Amino acid sequence: MRAMNTNVTIGVYGLGRFGSFWARELVKHGFRVIGYGRSAQHAPEGVILGTEDEVLATDVLFFCVSISAFSQVLESTSSRITPSTLVMDTCSVKIYPAKLMKQKLSPLVNCIATHPMFGPDSGKFSTEGLPMVLCPVNCSQELFQEWVEEFSKWKLHVLQMSCEQHDREAAWSQGITHFVGRTLSELSLGETQLATTGYRTLMSIVEQTCNDPLQLFYDLQRYNPYAKQMRMGLKGALDTVMQALKDQEKVQ
C-alpha cells in the first residue's frame, strides 16, 4: 500500500453546508486544505481561505457545488485547471457530473467521480463505516487505487462501481428516502404524546433529509436518470395500498 503524500495541497471549491464539512474532514486527516466559496466570509476551522485561482491550482481539487451548478462552474474554471491537478466531484448523482468532467476538462487532466454518502448530519460524530463511492472517469488505475486506499484509511466503506450502478442504486435508497422525507415534511407533522417508536423513527426521516438544502433534493431527483422510475414506483405502491384498503372494505 502506497502511503498518500500528505504534503499535497487539497482544494475545496464550494464552501456550502457539505463543502465546509468535507474541507474539515480533509483537515482532520492531515491534509493542507485551501477552500474557496463564492460568498465565503471565513474558512471552516483549519482550512485556509483562498482565491478561486489558488484553489484551482491545488494538487487535488474537490468540487463541492450543487449538481445543477456544476456545468457552469466547470465551464468557467476548466481552462485554468492543469494536468498537475487531480479533479474529483462530490455530487450525489454520478452519471451527469462524470459526463461533464469528460466533456469540459482537458483529456490530460485526471478525474474521479466520487460520492461521499454522508454529510454534516450523518457524519457529525463519526464517519466510520459510512459509504464512499468512487467511480473511475479519466484516471490511471494506480492513482485511483491511491484514493481508494486513502479513504479506506479513514475507515470509510469504500465502494468502487460504475456511475451507472451508483445512480440506479442511489435512486432507490438515497433518492426514495429524500422523497419520502420531503413528502412527510409537507404535512408538518408535529409532536404528539401518542408517538409510537415507529412514529419517532418516521419523524427522524424528515430531520435526516430536510436539513439538507432544498436544491439538493431537486437535483437528486432531476439529475438521476433513475429517479423518475423510483417516484412512479412509489406513487404506484401508494395507489396499490389505497386500492387494497378499498377492496378490503368491500369484502367485509
List contacts with its own copies (CB under 8 A).
68, 117-118, 121-122, 130-131, 133, 157, 159, 166, 169-170, 172-174, 176-184, 186-187, 189, 192-199, 201-202, 204-205, 208-209, 218, 221-222, 231, 233-235, 237-238, 240-242, 244-245, 248-249, 252
* Cβ at position 45, least distance to its own copies in Å: 23
28 C-beta neighbours (distance < 10 Å), count: 13
Say how far residue 14 (Cα) sits from the centre of its chain: 13
Q: What is the end-to-end Cα distance of the chain in Å, rounded?
A: 67
Nearer to its own copies by Cβ, of 1 and 245: the residue is 245
Q: Which helix (H) or strand (E) holds 109?
A: none
Nearer to its own copies by Cβ, of 80 and 235: the residue is 235
Nearest to 167 by CA among 88, 105, 97: 97
* Cβ at position 173, least distance to its own copies in Å: 4
Instruction: Report CA-CA distances (Å) from 50 to 31, 118, 198, 251.
Output: 15, 25, 46, 69
Residue ranges in 57-162 assigned as alpha helix (H): 67-77, 95-104, 141-153
* Cβ at position 79, least distance to its own copies in Å: 25
* Cβ at position 162, least distance to its own copies in Å: 13
* Cβ at position 7, least distance to its own copies in Å: 33
Nearer to its own copies by Cβ, of 108 and 237: the residue is 237
Q: Give the list of residues 6+ apart from residue 114 with CB closer than 8 angstroms, or none.
A: 62, 88, 89, 90, 132, 133, 134, 135
Nearer to its own copies by Cβ, of 56 and 219: the residue is 219
Nearer to its own copies by Cβ, of 59 and 169: the residue is 169
